[in-house]
Amino acid sequence: MNKTERGSIAENLALAHLQAAGLVLVARNYKTPGRGGGEVDLIMQSNDAERTLVFVEVRQRASNSHGGAAASVSAAKQRRIIFAARYYLLRLPKTPPCRFDVVSVEGGLDSEPQLTWIQGAFEAPSF
């Protein structure tokens, strides 16, 4: 299984977990046009009164060595996600409350994958 296939499986697991928690899928693999932009793995909406828009980065690692999947969301990766989120929000008539979550998927090759959902994993300055 290659990296793209493992990433797709991890995204499917994350999506199912978030939907089971009541979030609704808005977009998947949202990319900004052109080179050097960003991508958001999942854009979800909460079903609470605020209807928070949740930008989700899904990270998969076979093991938790080197800090694990969640630790691999570097500052540079966060900037690209924030860039894509801002671009997405420009097309909306009104900006809803937003947050940035990370779903990490550890293992899964020889055992059941361990999924961790980190709500509010990072913030965007002046967002």
What pTM value is reported for the model?
Answer: 0.88
**Mind listing the pLDDT tens digit for each residue in 89-125?**
999 999 999 999 999 998 765 678 889 999 999 999 7
In-domain check, residue 127: no
Does residue 9 belong to any structural domain of this protein? yes
**C-beta of residue 10 within 8 angstroms of C-beta of residue 18:** no
Decide if 74 is inside a domain: yes
Task: Report, in angstroms and rounded to the nearest whole number, the Rg of the chain calculated over CA atoms.
Answer: 14
Amino acid at 24: V
CATH number of the domain that residue 103 is part of? 3.40.1350.10
52, part of any domain: yes
pLDDT (tens digit, 9 = 90+) per residue, 3-44? 788 888 999 999 999 999 999 999 999 999 877 778 999 999
Domain that holds residue 68: 3-122
Number of structural domains the chain divides into? 1
